[in-house]
C-alpha cells in the first residue's frame, strides 16, 4: 500500500497535486445524503482525498458512468460458518465488495479457547479485508453442553486487549442477564465502555427492558416484525439477517422507514462457502433487500455507513474526503455485481476474481482436535420411557425450532426413524474431552428418505451431530467424521459416499474456497437426492445443537427445553 503524509493528502484534496489514482466519470453513492452524485474520486495513498471535479491523477481509471459504493461491512457474521480458513474467506467475499466484517469468533473459541482467537487474528494480517473482532461472550453458550473451552470474565479481560477486539459479542445467555447472574454481569461490566451485541430471540416486555438495561443495544435474532418493532422502540439497533439458512429479511423489511432506517443494518450472520461463491456475500444480502422493494441507496446505507457508525469504525463506510479508499464499482443498482473492487487505494478484485493471495503458509494450523471416547453402535439406541416423546421440529428458513410430543415408531421397544412421518433419529457425540457423552433424540422436517448425514460443525460447541434413518448409516457417518478429524459426511447402505474434510479445529477446511464450495455443493446435491428439500441442510443440521435458541435442541448432555433453559428429563 502507498503511504502518504497528511500534508500530501491535503494538497491532493485542494487540487494542487495529482491524485495517485483518479476514478473518473463515476456515479457516487453518497451515503450521507442518500443522493447519487456524478464526479471523480481522487485517491491519495490509502485514503480518498476528495470527490467532485478532480482532473489530475498519476493513474486514471475511467469507469464510464458506472456506480461506486463504499465497501460493504457485514455488521454481524461468524466467518467460521463459511468453513473456509481465514485467507480463503477473504478471497471469497472481497470480489463481491465486502471489505469489512464484524465477527464474533465464538465458533473457533468454543473449540480452542483464546488460542483460536489468536490464530484468526494472526491469519487476518495483511489481507485486503478489515477484520473487527467481538470477544465471544458465551463460551460455552450455556451449561447445557460440553465445549472445548470455558471463557470466564478473567479470560475475557485478556481477550479484550488483543489487537482488533472492539466489543463484546452476542450475549446469548439472556436468562443469565435478566436474572443478574454474577458471572454474566461480570462479563458485561468489562465492556461497559464498548459495544455489546445482543441475542434475545422472542424476548419482550419487562424482560426485554432488563436485557437492554446493561447496555446491550443490538439484536439480530428477530423473526417477526412485531418483535423487531418493540426492540427498536426500546432503543436497540436491529440487524436484519439473511444467511444461508436463517432468512428473516422479507418478514422484517417493513421495519425500515424514513424514520427508522438509521437504526437498521443488513447482516449475513452465517453463510457457507458454496452460497458465497455462487451467489455473493453482502452484495447478495443487499440485492435481496432491493429485490424485496427497498430503495437501492438505502440498502447500501444499511450495509455501509450504518454499521460503521454503530460500531464506531474509523474512516470507513462512505466515499468522502478522509475516508479509506474502500469501494466497489458496478453497472446496475437493480443487482449489484462488482466488476472492480478497491481496498485502501489498490485493486484487489475484478470481474469476480480476487487479485491477491492469502500469502505464504506461515501459521501452524490447529488440527487434530477431534477426541471421541470409543463407542459401539449400541450407544445410538433410543429407548423411550414414555408413550409421547419430545420431537425437534425444524422450521424451514428459520433458526428457531418447535417442540411437539409425539408417539415414536418403535421396534423391540426401541425408537426408530419413521420415514413416512419424516421423524428421524438425531444424535450428538461429545468430541472435545472424550467424556463418552452421547444423546439421541428425534427430529422432524429434515426429509431424509434413507441414509445419514453427520457434521462436526454444530453450533456452538461443535460436537458431532448426526441425523439418519438407521443406526448403521449414522454410525458409519460418525466414525468417518472422527477419522478425518472433522468435516461433513454422508453415508448410506452402511458405507460413506460423500465427505468434506474440515481439519482446522474440526470446522474449517485447508483447501481453496473454490474447491470447498464445489465439494459442499456436491454434498448438498447428494443429500437432496436422498429426499432433503432444505436449502442449506448442513447449516440447518448444525443449529440443532444450539442450546440458546427456542424451543428445543439436542446437546451431548441431553434434549434441551430452551424456553425453560434446562435438560428435559
- Domains with residue ranges and CATH for the chain: 6-65 (2.30.40.10), 72-310 (3.20.20.140), 377-567 (no CATH)
Other C-beta atoms within 10 Å of 237: how many? 23
Mean pLDDT of 512-533: 96
Q: List all residues 6 or more positions away from 528 whose beta carbon is below 8 Å from its beta carbon.
A: 537
Residues 438/556, Cβ–Cβ less than 8 Å: yes
Q: 120, 107, 101: which is closest to 151 by C-alpha?
A: 107
Other C-beta atoms within 10 Å of 395: how many? 13
Task: Answer whether residue 385 shows pLDDT above 90.
Answer: no
Mean pLDDT of 358-371: 83
* DSSP state, residue 504: B
Span 252-291, pLDDT tens digits? 999 999 999 999 999 999 899 999 999 999 999 999 999 9
Span 118-166, pLDDT tens digits? 999 999 999 999 999 999 998 987 788 999 999 999 999 999 999 999 9
Would you state the pLDDT for residue 43? Answer: 98
pLDDT tier for residue 33 given thresholds of 50, 70 and 90? very high
Task: Answer whether residue 359 shows pLDDT above 80.
Answer: no
pLDDT tier for residue 246 given thresholds of 50, 70 and 90? confident
Q: How far apart are CA 325 and CA 70, in angstroms?
A: 8
Task: Answer whether residue 199 shows pLDDT above 90.
Answer: yes
Span 122-133, pLDDT tens digits? 999 999 999 999
Q: How far apart are CA 426 and CA 542, in angstroms?
A: 12
Task: Answer whether residue 548 shows pLDDT above 90.
Answer: no
Largest separation between any pair of C-alpha atoms in the chain: 88
Peptide bond into 140 cis (omega under 30): yes
Peptide bond into 93 cis (omega under 30): no
Amino acid at each position: 500500500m502507498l503511504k502518504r503524509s497528511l500534508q500530501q493528502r491535503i494538497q491532493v484534496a485542494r487540487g494542487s497535486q495529482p491524485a495517485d489514482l483518479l476514478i473518473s466519470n463515476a456515479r457516487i453513492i453518497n451515503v450521507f445524503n442518500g443522493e447519487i452524485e456524478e464526479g471523480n474520486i481522487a485517491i491519495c495513498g490509502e485514503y480518498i482525498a476528495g470527490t467532485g471535479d478532480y482532473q489530475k491523477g498519476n493513474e486514471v481509471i475511467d469507469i464510464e458512468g458506472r456506480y461506486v459504493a463504499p465497501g460493504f461491512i457485514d455488521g454481524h457474521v461468524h466467518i467460521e460458518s463459511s468453513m473456509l480458513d481465514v485467507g480463503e474467506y477473504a478471497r471469497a467475499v472481497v470480489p463481491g465488495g465486502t471489505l469489512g466484517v464484524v465477527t464474533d469468533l465464538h465458533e473457533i473459541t468454543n473449540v480452542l479457547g483464546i488460542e483460536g482467537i489468536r490464530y484468526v487474528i494472526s491469519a487476518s494480517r495483511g489481507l485486503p479485508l478489515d477484520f473487527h473482532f467481538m470477544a465471544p461472550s458465551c463460551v460455552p453458550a450455556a451449561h447445557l453442553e460440553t465445549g472445548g473451552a470455558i471463557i470466564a470474565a478473567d479470560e475475557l479481560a485478556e481477550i479484550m486487549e488483543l489487537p482488533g477486539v472492539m466489543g463484546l459479542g452476542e450475549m446469548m445467555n439472556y436468562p443469565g442477564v435478566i436474572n443478574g447472574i454474577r458471572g454474566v454481569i461480570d462479563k458485561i461490566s468489562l465492556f461497559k465502555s464498548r459495544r455489546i451485541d445482543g441475542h434475545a430471540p422472542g424476548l419482550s416486555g419487562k424482560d426485554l427492558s432488563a436485557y437492554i438495561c446493561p447496555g446491550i443495544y443490538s439484536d439480530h435474532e428477530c423473526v417477526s416484525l412485531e418483535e423487531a418493532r418493540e426492540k427498536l422502540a426500546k432503543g436497540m439497533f436491529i440487524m436484519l439477517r439473511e444467511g444461508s439458512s436463517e432468512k428473516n429479511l422479507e418478514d422484517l423489511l417493513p421495519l425500515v422507514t424514513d424514520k427508522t432506517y438509521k437504526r437498521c443494518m443488513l447482516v449475513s450472520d452465517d453463510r457457507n462457502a458454496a452460497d458465497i461463491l455462487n451467489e455473493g456475500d453482502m452484495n447478495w444480502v443487499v440485492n435481496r433487500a432491493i429485490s424485496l422493494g427497498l430503495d437501492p441507496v438505502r440498502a447500501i446505507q444499511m450495509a455501509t455507513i450504518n454499521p460503521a457508525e454503530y460500531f464506531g469504525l474509523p474512516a470507513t463506510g462512505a466515499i468522502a474526503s478522509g475516508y479509506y479508499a474502500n469501494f466497489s464499482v458496478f453497472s446496475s443498482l437493480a443487482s449489484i455485481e462488482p466488476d472492480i473492487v478497491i481496498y485502501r487505494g489498490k485493486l484487489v478484485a475484478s470481474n469476480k476474481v480476487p487479485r491477491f493471495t492469502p500469502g505464504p503458509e506461515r501459521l501452524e494450523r490447529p488440527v487434530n482436535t477431534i477426541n471421541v471416547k470409543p463407542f459401539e453402535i449400541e450407544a445410538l439406541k433410543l429407548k423411550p420411557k414414555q408413550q409421547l416423546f419430545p420431537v425437534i421440529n425444524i422450521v424451514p428458513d428459520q433458526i428457531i425450532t418447535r417442540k411437539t410430543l409425539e408417539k415414536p415408531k418403535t421396534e423391540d421397544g426401541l425408537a426408530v426413524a419413521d420415514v413416512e412421518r419424516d421423524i428421524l433419529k438425531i444424535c450428538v457425540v461429545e468430541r472435545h474431552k472424550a467424556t463418552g457423552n452421547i444423546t439421541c433424540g428425534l427430529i422432524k422436517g429434515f426429509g431424509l428418505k434413507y441414509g445419514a448425514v453427520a457434521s462436526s460443525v454444530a453450533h456452538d460447541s461443535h460436537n458431532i451431530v448426526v441425523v439418519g434413518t438407521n443406526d448403521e448409516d449414522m454410525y458409519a457417518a460418525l466414525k468417518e467424521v472422527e477419522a478425518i478429524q472433522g468435516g461433513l459426511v454422508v453415508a448410506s447402505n452402511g458405507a460413506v459416499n460423500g465427505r468434506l474434510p474440515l481439519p482446522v479445529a474440526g470446522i474449517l477446511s485447508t483447501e481453496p474456497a473454490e474447491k470447498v464450495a464445489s465439494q459442499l455443493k456436491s454434498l448438498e446435491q447428494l443429500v437432496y437426492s436422498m429426499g432433503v428439500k432444505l436449502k442449506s441442510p448442513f447449516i440447518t443440521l448444525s443449529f440443532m445443537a444450539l442450546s440458546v435458541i427456542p424451543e428445543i435442541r439436542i446437546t451431548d448432555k441431553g434434549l434441551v427445553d430452551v424456553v425453560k433453559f434446562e435438560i428435559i428429563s
